[in-house]
Amino acid sequence: MPEFSLLAGHFGTLKKTIQGMPSDATLHSIMLKISQQFSSGIFYINMWPFSGTWMVVSTPSAASQIQKLNLTKPVILRRPLETVTGGPSMMSMHGETWKKWRALFNPGFNPGYIIGLAPNITDEVATFWLSCAKGQQGEVFPLESLTTRLTVDSICSVVLDTQLHHQIKDHPLATALQRQIDWTTFGTTFNPLKRYLTIRPLVLWYNNKVMDRIIGGEVDRACRTPPDHPSKSVISLALREYLQEQASTNSTRSLAEFKRLVAPQLRVFLFAGRNTTSSTLIYSYYLLAQHPEVLAKIRAEHEDVLGADPAEAQGRIKEDVQLLNKLPYTTAVIKETLRLFPPSASMREGRPDAEIIGEDGQRYPTVGCNVWTLTVALHHNSDYWDQVENFIPERWLVGPEDPLYPVKGAWRAFEFGPRSCIGQTLAMLELRIALAMTIRQFDITPAYDEWDSIHPATTAKEVNGHRAYQAERGAGGAHTADGFPCRVKERC
């Protein structure tokens, strides 16, 4: 473990590490820096006064063991998650309850099913395209303001079969969700003064009312859909699965109960998917702008598969959605982006009978610890990745004999096993479509120099050599620093 003080625990180590880093750098980035001191890939750190002891792991074998132990999420995550989602969701549930809801939604996120909803996503990306082309007129602007709206619209289109048009005008569902996230941070959840002696409870109550009303209306609409004209949305498929289950078990559980219990699941799809997909799309643009040879290759693949005219890409995809499965280099670009800038990590609660065995054979007890698979540290561990800091999409296309070939279990952007991210197929599909419909139409280039001249920084503004570092925003996850200021220029 890091140097320990009887009075301050590891607070001194945290403070020392933070010095020289941007003030809004993610905790993931801070822990990455600390983890590089421990060759075993496993260490303990006491997070007093913010939390208890954490075990941080960054090896494939340890991460795999944690996955197989099927540990529960710790309360420091469950409480904020359930504040955002309005109740237990698949992200916070465990045991049989989790299995039931996961089974209901699994068919809707099956790769073979979700690709059939690609036309819905192309319509939302077309709106994003117009926003890029017309909205900014060559000015420097934060791209995140557009990409987050794109992902919200895409998720609602696929999951609810409804168009929010949030890219055109603020939608109350998206606004209430964002406000809920803004008012839900680890600090405000656990600080009793901020929790009860502010307007926070009233704000959260109001946000819940807005989201429940809108989501409830969409579920009602799905229930009224004629059987001979079924919707292909994820919620409609889950509803059909639910009704079949009730019929087979002679259950008396009502649709009203389904409506009440499904609302947090729908909120969690929006919460989990909005920023992760948005930030990955931004980082794809960022890395492609820095590597023109990779940009040329991905554009060539799109021309080969989708035709010479970029404006026809949407039509080609709608005519034959299977074309999206013929873009291996595009998929490699996305996976390499997720390796360098993973948007999340996995934390579980240790228990007395659970131990992790390190690669050196040492046993690490988990009792009394929050066990954190630090994805960013694993993805930047040179023991498992050749040319670890380089952006090389080709590593995802080579065979096992090549030094670039990924070590099994070392890439965990969506985790593995039964509790892997249920929305990963949707995220990858949306990213492929967004790149296919925009990367030949626009040059998207970072404009941090111009941004910094207007907004001078008082602290460091790089992490690991990147100005576009991952930035913290409360319960909203890892964002691109300053929203990724850029210029978007339409190509001739």
402 and 458 in a common domain: no
Structural domain count, the chain: 2
**Residue among 162, 435, 429 at smallest CA distance from 321:** 429
Can you give the pLDDT at residue 190?
Answer: 47
Can you give the pLDDT at residue 200?
Answer: 84
- Asked which of 411, 426, 450 is the last residue of a domain, the reply is 411
Q: Are strands 369-373 and 53-57 parallel, antiparallel or unpaired?
A: parallel
Q: Within 13 Å and on the Cβ side, how many CA atoms surround 224?
A: 6
483 and 455 in a common domain: yes
Band of residue 473 on the pLDDT scale cut at 50, 70, 90: confident
Is residue 84 scored above 80 in pLDDT? Answer: yes
Q: What is the mean pLDDT of residues 297-312?
A: 98
199 and 154 in a common domain: yes
pLDDT digits (tens, 9 = 90+) for 460-469: 899 999 999 9
- Asked which of 411, 442, 470 is the last residue of a domain, the reply is 411
Q: What is the mean pLDDT of residues 434-452?
A: 96
Length of the chain: 492
Q: What is the mean pLDDT of residues 286-292?
A: 99
CATH of the domain at 88: 1.10.630.10
Is residue 251 scored above 70 in pLDDT? Answer: no
| Alpha helices for 291-423 (secondary structure H) | 292-306, 313-319, 328-340, 375-379
486 labeled part of a ligand binding site: no
Can you give the pLDDT at residue 475?
Answer: 53
326 and 362 in a common domain: no
Tokens matching residue 35 = 């983890």
Can you give the pLDDT at residue 240?
Answer: 87
pLDDT digits (tens, 9 = 90+) for 354-374: 999 999 999 999 999 999 999
| Alpha helices for 320-374 (secondary structure H) | 328-340
207 and 300 in a common domain: yes
Domain range enclosing 215: 77-342+413-490
259 and 140 in a common domain: yes
Q: What is the mean pLDDT of residues 172-177?
A: 96
136 against 231, higher pLDDT: 231
Q: What is the mean pLDDT of residues 213-226?
A: 88
The predicted model scores a pTM of 0.94
217 and 96 in a common domain: yes
Band of residue 141 on the pLDDT scale cut at 50, 70, 90: very high
Is residue 8 scored above 60 in pLDDT? Answer: no
Separation in Å, CA 290 to CA 133, 270, 343, 389: 21, 30, 20, 13
The pLDDT mean for the chain works out to 90
159 against 52, higher pLDDT: 159
Can you give the pLDDT at residue 188?
Answer: 42
Can you give the pLDDT at residue 244?
Answer: 82
User: Which of 292-296, 321-325, 473-477 bottoms out in mean pLDDT, i.e. has the lowest?
Assistant: 473-477
Is residue 225 scored above 90 in pLDDT? Answer: no
Q: What is the mean pLDDT of residues 16-23?
A: 86
Band of residue 246 on the pLDDT scale cut at 50, 70, 90: confident
Angstrom distance (rounded) from CA 187 to CA 204: 15
Q: What is the mean pLDDT of residues 82-110?
A: 94
Angstrom distance (rounded) from CA 263 to CA 85: 8
Contact partners, residue 184, CB within 8 Å, separation at least 6? 80, 83, 84, 204, 474, 475
Are 51 and 76 within 8 A, CB to CB?
Answer: yes
Is residue 194 scored above 70 in pLDDT? Answer: no
Can you give the pLDDT at residue 49?
Answer: 65
Q: What is the enclosing helix (H) or strand (E) of 139? A: none
pLDDT digits (tens, 9 = 90+) for 22-63: 989 999 999 999 998 888 899 998 877 677 899 999 999 999
367 and 425 in a common domain: no
Is residue 195 scored above 60 in pLDDT? Answer: no
156 and 245 in a common domain: yes
180 and 34 in a common domain: no
228 and 332 in a common domain: yes
295 and 367 in a common domain: no
Is residue 436 scored above 60 in pLDDT? Answer: yes
- Asked which of 361, 376, 411 is the last residue of a domain, the reply is 411
